[in-house]
Amino acid sequence: MKRVVKNTAFAVLLVLTLCTIAAYHIEQLMMAKVTVSVPQDEIVRGVFYEGTVLPLSSLTMRDGNTGVYIIDYVEGAFGEEMVARFVPVTVEAQDQRNFSSGDLFDFREYVVSSNRLLKDGEEVAAP
């Protein structure tokens, strides 16, 4: 009788472990895949800007506001996680590929592109 209980307990533990692993992988597959980059000081329309210069592909509209998604790193259940946060920006100048914003950004990475629309505070993954 004890042997049956031990075997059953082991089987249940094994199934729960496999379910946890499967859930983690399913969550990874369902996350938005984003391409990230770091801001650089550059030239827009022949003028050097001290503000942040980002590619136009990083601009997005949300609730009538123009902005970019930045990447925050937070501690999650399975370690460090990437979270997309919407930050409104003011476009001061732009050319065919880039725009400049004098808004001060205190971040290291921003989203250049995503495989789907993002939500503020959504966990994302890099491909």
Of the listed ranges 14-18, 53-57, 65-69, 122-126, the one predicted with least confidence:
53-57
| % of the chain exceeding 90 in pLDDT | 20
What per-residue confidence (pLDDT) applies to 49? 55
CA within 13 Å, CB half, 6: 3
Half-sphere exposure of 124 (CA within 13 A, CB side): 30
Predicted confidence (pLDDT) per residue in 65-123, tens digit: 899 999 999 998 778 888 999 989 888 888 888 887 776 666 678 898 899 899 999 99
Mean pLDDT for the stretch of residues 27-48: 68
In angstroms, rounded to a whole number, what is the distance separating the alpha carbons of residues 68 and 56? 10
Contact indicator for 101, 54 with CB cutoff of 8 Å: yes
